[in-house]
Amino acid sequence: MNAATLGVRAAARVCVAVLCLLAGATAARANVPFTQSWSPHNRERPVRQSTLYIILHTTEGPAPGSLQKLRDNGEANFFVDPTGRIYAIIDRRRVALHAGRSMWRGRTNMDEVSIGIEVAGYYYQNLTAPQYTSLRALLTELQAQYGIADANVLTHSMVAYGAPNRWHRRSHRGRKRCGMLFASSAVRQKLGLTDQPSYDPDVRAGRLVVGDPYLAQKLYSGSSSKAIASASVMPAASSSRSRAKPAPVVPAAVATAMPPPGEGMLITANRSAWDVARDMYNEPTTRYVFPDGKVANGNQIRNWKSIPPGTRVIIAASESENSEERLQRIGRDGDTAREVAGDEFNTARTIYFLKDGRIRTGAELAAAELDALPAETGMLVGYAQGGAITAKRRAFDVCGVKWNNPSTFYRFPDGSIQSGAQVRENAIPLGTQVFFRN
């Protein structure tokens, strides 16, 4: 047998092995409806260097619009609709932008080490029976392929964290309740998951504070998490029932904490805009209807302390996983640097775009200057300064795979600022400064 034949034989064996592997992997979801629905961003997304976690999301919006948005923005690897159909949106090997500002065990930017699965539904609402079947099969396949333990199947609400804002002085857990029900042990059991995190590692280590005690309790107390699902796991598929609208499982405390999108909820003396809208509170798509009938969008409100009780808050139908990252401005997002960036206002993690053109971190500015920053001064909170683009140092050299993320910002020599989603790599002028979330 000559070398060429050996080579052919070996190649054939490899092919057979690969085919067997694929067959085994897909067997779990042999009867699960599956559609390739690639995002236009799929091919430009980098391949992950390692895959340590699976992160589960709820869309917090109706299925058709959610799928469209996830595909347009490349915000998930997979999407599971109410009928159990799985859509592949970003190749499982590639980075999907699903976790936004995130941290777990001190590691940030969880997109780079995780697969994101979006399930059509709401954080407080049980899955449909077909969703349980399909998601369980998909998890089985992905966990086997990447060697991911049950305890490393996380929820977006576990890993998301918020920068300081007017309600929280420090970086905090509780930016999102997305996927909260996937911390319920009853829900996890139905998905074949027998282990889960029992505490928040970043809060325990002091890296973050708790910004949402209710969420923290739901995520890490086994008994209370059972309450979410015990009522109500959907009956196993009988054809008439599985098509019926699932009965929402809404514990009273959750039901009053945040309304389904499109429905208003009132601000009271004890319930702030943050309590109602979370990180959507200052979005242009969040509407405030005041008692006198006037209406304002979240990005138009200046004085958050003066919102009268009885104001109704209406949250847009579908959240974006990355929408909260934008240049903040004094006078819009808070009247002072301390109001915008909390305890991080004077640290190296807060970047100031001064009106005279200088760019400085909070650590570089004197206290007097920080206290007297004029309106419209731009700020980025929780960011690293990457330095300038040069002939030998392109965007990728500065911040790696984050170079074209919507959360990365470029300040051009003419003073204008664009996000990574807007820039064209070959059109970035030399001398442009790069800032990325860290």
CB of 58 to Zn ion, least distance (A): 7
Candidate ranges 49-57, 141-149, 349-357, 409-417; the one touching Zn ion (CB under 5 A): 49-57
**Which residue number, 322 or 408, has a Cβ lying nearer to Zn ion?**
322
Torsion, Cα 425 427 432 435, to 10 degrees, reads -30
d(C-alpha 401, C-alpha 411), whole Å: 18
Spatial separation of the C-alpha atoms in residues 333 and 300, rounded to whole Å: 10
CB of 200 to Zn ion, least distance (A): 17
Instruction: Please enumerate, as own/partner, the contacts of 260-264 that have beta carbons within 8 Å and a separation of 24 or more.
Output: 260/122, 261/60, 261/61, 261/315, 261/316, 261/317, 261/318, 261/319, 262/314, 262/315, 262/317, 263/314, 264/289, 264/312, 264/313, 264/314
Report, in Å, the least distance between residue 182 CB and Zn ion: 11
> Using CB under 5 A, which of the segments 16-24, 55-63, 144-152, 233-241 binds Zn ion?
55-63
Q: Give me the least distance between CB of 29 and Zn ion, in Å please.
A: 22
Piece of 22-30, 36-44, 54-62, 400-408 that binds Zn ion (CB under 5 A): 54-62
- Nearest distance in Å: CB 307, Zn ion: 27
Residues near Zn ion (CB under 5 A), total: 3
| In contact, 309 and 267? CB cutoff 8 Å | yes
Neighbours of 232 (CB within 10 A): 14
* Secondary structure class of 274 (helix, strand, coil): helix
Least separation in angstroms between residue 315's CB and Zn ion is 14
Please identify, using beta-carbon distances, which residue of 95 and 379 lies nearer to Zn ion: 95
Q: Which is nearer to Zn ion, 103 or 395 (CB)?
A: 103
Give the x-and-dash track for 145-164 against Zn ion (CB under 5 A): -----------x--------
> In this chain, which stretch among 50-58, 226-234, 266-274, 339-347 interacts with Zn ion, using CB under 5 A?
50-58
By three-state DSSP, how is residue 102 classified?
Answer: strand
Spatial distance between the Cα atoms of 251 and 229, rounded to a whole number of angstroms: 9
Interatomic CA distance for residues 414 and 391, integer angstroms: 18
Q: Which is nearer to Zn ion, 183 or 379 (CB)?
A: 183
Rounded to whole angstroms, the Cα distance separating 167 from 273 reads 10
Q: Which residues contact 34 (CB under 8 A, 6 or more apart)?
A: 85, 86, 87, 88
User: Smallest distance, Å, CB 93 to Zn ion?
Assistant: 21
Reduced 3-state DSSP string for 380-435: EECEEEEEECECCECHHHHHHHHHHCCCCEEECCCCCEEECCCCCHHHCCCCCEEE
How many helical (H) and strand (E) elements, i.e. helices and strands, does the chain have?
14, 23
CB nearer to Zn ion: pick between 69 and 156: 156
Pick the closer one to Zn ion by CB: 178 or 216: 178
Q: Which residue lies nearer to Zn ion by CB, 48 or 278?
A: 278
Minimum distance, C-beta of residue 321 to Zn ion, in the bound complex (Å): 5
Residues 348-407 that bind Zn ion (CB under 5 A): none
User: Residue 346 in contact with residue 370, Cβ under 8 Å?
Assistant: yes
Q: How far is the CB of 316 from Zn ion (least distance, A)?
A: 15
Distance, in Å, from the CA atom of 48 to the CA atom of 18, rounded to the nearest integer, reads: 21
To Zn ion, the closest distance from the beta carbon of 327 in angstroms equals 23
Q: How far apart are CA 432 and CA 274, in angstroms?
A: 35
**Least distance to Zn ion, CB of residue 110, Å:** 11
**SS3 letters for 306-321?**
HCCCCCEEECCCCCCC
Q: Would you say 156 or 166 has its CB closer to Zn ion?
A: 156
Among 48, 57, 177, 349, binds Zn ion (CB under 5 A): 57
Comparing CB distances to Zn ion, the nearer of 114 and 433 is: 114
Residue closer to Zn ion, measured from CB, 135 or 178: 178
- When the beta carbons of 90 and 178 are compared against Zn ion, the nearer one is 178
Site for Zn ion in 165-204 (CB under 5 A): 178
Find the DSSP H helices in 197-336. Answer: 201-204, 213-220, 222-230, 239-243, 252-255, 273-277
Q: Which stretch binds Zn ion (CB under 5 A): 56-64, 238-246, 255-263, 285-293?
A: 56-64
Residues that bind Zn ion (CB under 5 A): 57, 156, 178
